[in-house]
Amino acid sequence: MLKDIIESFKNWLREQYPVLIPIPVRKQDIKNGGSHPGLNRYESINLLCVLLISWMMLPGIAFAQSASNGSAANEKTILFLGDSITAGYGLDETQAFPALIESKIQEKGYKYRVINAGLSGDTSSGGLRRIDWLLRSQIDILVLELGANDGLRGIDLAVTKQNLQKIIDQAKAKNPKLKVVIAGMQVPPNLGDAYTKQFREIFPALAKSNNATLIPFLLEGVAGNSSLNLPDGIHPNVSGHTILANNVWNVLSGIL
């Protein structure tokens, strides 16, 4: 019975994230102080569960909990899908701009709940892998903030644009009435003027082709200002996130 449950769960995980590879662990000998005999019968323990929890499950769990808590009030859902900027790298999640947006929404009395699905280091490919999980409950507004890490790594711009389009397509397939907000991003010119320009043009092009709302540049007023960023010079500090929230609110408030 236990073996069947474990195998079923492992198979389900493989279907969700086939890019993650199970890590074999040598079984313990019960005679030498091993643990529960029911577990020692197996040749390996799949550490995929741990990877899933640490890498992806927390945003999904928070999403599911919030969806459950808000469903009784018939609230709509805003999903912020992004990287370390959305996650509020180096800060408490309550200080990140999605939480500040949620506070503004509550002050206005709008019936929306906010889900922060930001993940530090995430790329457009990572977001595409995660979106199916996040769409298991209905999303009414998707704020898409991905692509910056693609640019910093010099990833083929066609791949980045394609991934972002697929995320939008999957979200709209789940909810044809979905509203999409695209956060424009920019990269330093170290990869060349052509790459920098083409990268910047991805976001308005996607907004236009998908009838989405565009935030011209999410980091407007923050990028390059040392007093508004953490010591790494890349991630906004508390004051920086306040400005980011205003940049987002100026656009988002018009479609609530």
Which active-site residues does the annotation give? Answer: 84, 232, 235
Q: H-helix or E-strand containing 116?
A: strand 112-118
Distance between start and end Cα atoms, the chain? 49
d(CA 96, CA 76): 21
Tell me which residue of 140, 171, 168, 173 sits closest to 70, measured CA to CA.
Answer: 140
Which residues partner with 116 through β-bridges? 80
Cβ density class 44-60: b for 16+ within 10 Å, e for less: ebbebeebbeebbeebb
One-letter amino acid at 32 equals: N
